[in-house]
């Protein structure tokens, strides 16, 4: 199942300031391996996503997320 492009785009915009400048972020980017998103950054991202999409994201959703697209799919389910 492909994620909504608009959702993925908003996620990418949230991620950009949290990774080194010039880092390419695409839907299949691995958030841990490629972006080095640690648990603290994950919580910051989660808070920003909740505000952006006006949703509540259960913490256990993060265990199901590896890529940007995985995250977009999870958010799409919650909207």
Query: How many Å apart are CA 22 and CA 7, to the nearest integer?
Result: 21
Per-residue pLDDT 10s for the chain (79 aa) are 566 889 999 999 999 999 988 899 999 999 989 998 888 888 899 999 999 999 999 988 888 899 999 999 999 999 8
Coarse DSSP helix, strand, coil percentages of the chain, rounded to the nearest 5 percent: 60, 5, 40
Name the 3-class secondary structure at 74.
helix
Rounded to two decimals, the pTM is 0.86
Domain range for 48 is: 5-78
Count of domains for the chain: 1
For residue 8, give both structure tokens.
Answer: 């993925």
pLDDT at residue 1, as a whole number = 57
CATH number at residue 29: 1.10.1200.10
């Amino acid at each position: 199942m492909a994620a909504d492009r608009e959702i993925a785009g908003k996620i990418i915009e949230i991620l950009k300031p949290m990774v080194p400048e010039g880092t390419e972020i695409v839907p299949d980017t691995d958030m841990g391996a490629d972006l080095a998103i640690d648990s603290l950054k994950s919580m910051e991202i989660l808070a920003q996503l909740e505000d952006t999409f006006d949703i509540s994201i259960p913490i256990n959703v993060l265990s199901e997320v590896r890529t940007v697209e995985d995250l977009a799919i999870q958010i799409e389910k919650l909207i």
